[in-house]
Amino acid sequence: MAIFLIGFMGAGKTTVGKRLGEIQKLEVIDMDEYIEERTGSSIKDVFKEHGEDYFRNLESEALKELMEKEAVITTGGGVVEKKENRELLARERTVFHLFCSFDAIWERLKEDGSRPLVQNNSKDGLFDLYKRRLSLYRSVSTIEIDTTHKSIDEIITDLGQNICTD
């Protein structure tokens, strides 16, 4: 059974996913890294050379493949942009939305030069994207975990209380 972590960039998906994988003794697969390995290109280059629609199609293919894995899957923040992806995620039992307030996310990301969406947007532009995606995350998640001002251990405890191992 795959455990999916979804949420806006900066909410803690990668950090939480790594720790959760250690505790659950599961492989951790970052969807963006998975796509980069398959294409031989960085996500930034895929966007630049082929556009967002092309990337979202690659993301859908990866999501379908990864659903069969017994692993912790950390998704990209935009995975919910495509209806097909939302439908796939909505069928899963373990989709955790890592929620974080926008102010806390902004504090984490404002100096991060590695994220094109941060570099290419104003604070207001990012906030608009955050607001639009929030309802999409909530529409497909099984459980929402608030990561705002929480330690990794507190988040893992919250997750652990909601993971059923069959």
Report yes or no: 160 and 110 within 8 Å, Cβ to Cβ: no
User: Do the domain assignments include residue 165?
Assistant: no
User: Do the domain assignments include residue 27?
Assistant: yes
Quote the DSSP letter at residue 128.
Answer: H
30 has pLDDT over 50: yes
User: Do the domain assignments include residue 161?
Assistant: no
149 against 118, higher pLDDT: 149
pLDDT band at 166 (very low <50, low <70, confident <90, very high): very low
User: Do the domain assignments include residue 21?
Assistant: yes
User: Do the domain assignments include residue 166?
Assistant: no
User: Do the domain assignments include residue 17?
Assistant: yes
Q: How does pLDDT run across 67-126, given as a tens digit for each residue?
A: 989 999 999 999 999 999 999 999 998 999 999 999 999 888 776 655 656 556 678 888
pLDDT given at position 112:
61
Residue 128 sits in which domain range? Answer: 3-156
The mean per-residue pLDDT over the stretch 142-153 comes to 94
Number of domains in the chain: 1
Q: How would DSSP label each residue in 55-114?
A: HHHHHHHHHHHHTTSSEEEEPPTTGGGSHHHHHHHHT-S-EEEEE--HHHHHHHHTT-TT
47 has pLDDT over 50: yes
> Which uninterrupted H or E stretch holds 47?
helix 43-50
143 against 122, higher pLDDT: 143
* CATH of residue 68: 3.40.50.300
